[in-house]
Amino acid sequence: MTDDADPYLWLEDVTGETALDWVRDRNAETTAVLTDGERFETTKARLLEVLDADDRIPYPRRRGAYLYNFWQDAAHPRGLWRRTTLEQYRSATPEWTVLLDVDALGEAEGENWVWNSASVLKPDYNLALVELSRGGADATVVREFDLRTGEFVADGFTLPEAKTRVSWIDEDTVYVGTDFGEGSLTTSGYARVVKRWRRGTPLETAETVFEGKPEDVTVYAYRDQTPGFERDLVGRFPDFFTSEEYLVTADGDLAKIEVPDDAGVDVHREWLLITLRSDWTVGGSTYLTGSLLAADFETFMTGERDLTVLFVPDEHTSLSGTAWTKNHLILVELSDVKTRLEVLTPGQGEWSRAELPGAPEVGSADVIDTDPDESDEYLLNVSGYLQPATLLRGEVGGGLETLRQAPAFFDADGLSVEQHFATSDDGTKVPYFVVSGTDTSGPTLLYGYGGFEVSLTPSYSGGLGRGWLEHGGTYVVANIRGGGEYGPAWHRAALRENRPRAYEDFAAVARDLVARGITTPERLGMQGGSNGGLLAGVMLTRYPELFGAVVSQVPLLDLQRYHLLLAGASWMAEWGDPDDPADWSYLKTFSPYHNVHSGTKYPPVFFVTSTRDDRVHPGHARKMAARMIELGHAPRYYENIEGGHGAAADNSQRAFMSAIVYEFLLRTLAG
């Protein structure tokens, strides 16, 4: 196929009848082959048991006196938004107050509602901005909800379906960035304009407070409502990895927070945190990529650069995240992809530090919530590949309390987790985890992502256990470049023209698995979604000899047109601009859609996507499958009509989508 000729543009018409007829035909072909056996039905049922299990952990978020939770099960497939108290949560059978039944709402209104999120107004927590989508899309409808009455507010804040950013200022005012009409969106389809909207006034009369550029990713505004430190901030994202943030001064002017454009900033009480994505020389000192710095916010805004270094990475460690409590800062660090926790306490000139308990030896510990306005409480979720999740509650300086223990959904006896390192083409050591029994003669599944500085850390999956490990499968996760496992430098090493480094890393892991005798190419499958779906497409077209099966989910595959489809323009900082001849010169060398040929033997491949994915266009998977069929290959294809970027809108759909993928892999790799 030439650069300019694309015979399958008609498949980019998401809901066009001709395109949907093609989708229905492919779906019918795939389901006829993969869903007709007892193993598929059994796997699907057992996966649904995991997803609907009553003894799953109901992960909470504290908002004032209550713990909030969104819950889906067999009786409530679209879910319940509910809350309880900590005292009740500690009991074996908490009493929950249901705030919103999404299934009942959808039935009453004749809408296919899927829960997205809710923003509750501080400090009284009486009002919420609830976001619901149709079918699981990123675009949402916003409706104001009264937590005291359990009803939507008549004539309250309401916004039609769009990719909206909305946040509270006070009880009668919100910041909103949405589709205000022509020129109000960026080329990525997100808000270019943010306005201040007062209750009881038409949206079209809302006051503009900040505008970005058409080529930006998006803009934003928010009110920091911390008592005694109230402030308003606005900003823009010129691309996925850079931002500009401004303090709105008392007279309405904008004062820029003068940090490198690619640095992350976080303002909490009197403190400014700066996370560096590149070296920064300021005030006569140079601070290294991946470091975390702190400064007094007001002093920093006057031009002083008295910076305290809180974290510096080394060749084995990186900063994975931070979380404030009222008086302390929790650091989540990775040491060769294993979690380490520290707690820092501000002091006069010095910050004291101590180890925070709770991190497993091989696994992950994630701070899922804190209460930074009121207390030093934190909630910690701990798990590993063979370790079911435990939800812990602690207060800095105190002990840890086990709030919930997830059940074991599969038998882990005889299974173990090992970490190995493969050597990539340029000599870089690439870590990967292997979950297996002593006998690895069954199929092996290699998973990867490698983009956007996202780290793949060990975590428990009952579905993986039941759908794969219990069938004698070995599971492998590759921590390739492009991810964040070793900080910004690990990500930057596979940006744009260096993207092939990520693919070389993944191929090196595949070869290392064979060299260690863990598997063979015929028994090795690989899987990836979204950016990982692109990874899968490249493995298919560039390294077909390494794999016996490939699964590409909600993928990007046409790198010549990705920036023209849905949110694609927002990712050009990651891959490049296809309209720039210099960028296209390297993009075309690994764009899967442009590198599939008739004379090459490819492993069996399964493309999975969703019609309602309004982030990564389903046209990528559609066109790739159609192109392969034209060239004489026989890809499998399945497109869920609902589901958004997650390709499923409820637990039943999630079970089906996972089961059909496992069935494809087992049939292909294990016979």
**Catalytic site positions:** 530, 645
Using DSSP's 3-state secondary structure scheme, residue 252 falls into: coil
Residue entry with tokens 């077209």: 541
Tell me, what amino acid is at 569? Answer: A
CA gap 432, 385 in Å, rounded: 13
Strands (E), 628-668: 636-640
Please check whether residue 323 is in contact with residue 338, taking contact to mean a CB–CB distance below 8 angstroms. no
Number of alpha helices (DSSP H) and beta strands (DSSP E) in the chain: 13, 39
Residue of 275, 300, 307 lying closest to 289 (CA atoms) = 275
DSSP alpha helix (H) spans, 245-400: 297-301
Q: Report the b/e string of 224-253 with b at 16+ CB within 10 A.
A: ebbeeeeebbbbbbbbbbbbbbbbbeeeee
CA gap 94, 85 in Å, rounded: 9
My answer on whether omega of the bond before 581 falls inside 30° of 0, hence cis, is no
CA gap 284, 281 in Å, rounded: 7
Residue entry with tokens 């205000």: 180
CA atoms within a 13 Å half-sphere pointing along the CA-CB vector of 264? 14
CA gap 480, 485 in Å, rounded: 8
CA gap 392, 341 in Å, rounded: 14
> For strand 377-384 and strand 364-370, is the pairing parallel, antiparallel, or unpaired?
antiparallel
CA gap 256, 300 in Å, rounded: 11
Sheet holding 97-101, edge to edge: 61-63, 66-71, 80-84, 97-101
CA gap 331, 324 in Å, rounded: 9
Q: Report the b/e string of 120-134 with b at 16+ CB within 10 A.
A: bbeeebebbbbbbbb
* Angle between helix 619-630 and 17-34 (nearest 10): 70
Residue of 575, 571, 574, 592 lying closest to 583 (CA atoms) = 575
Please check whether residue 195 is in contact with residue 176, taking contact to mean a CB–CB distance below 8 angstroms. yes
What tokens were used for 46? Answer: 């057992």
CA gap 207, 172 in Å, rounded: 14
What tokens were used for 439? Answer: 């006998």
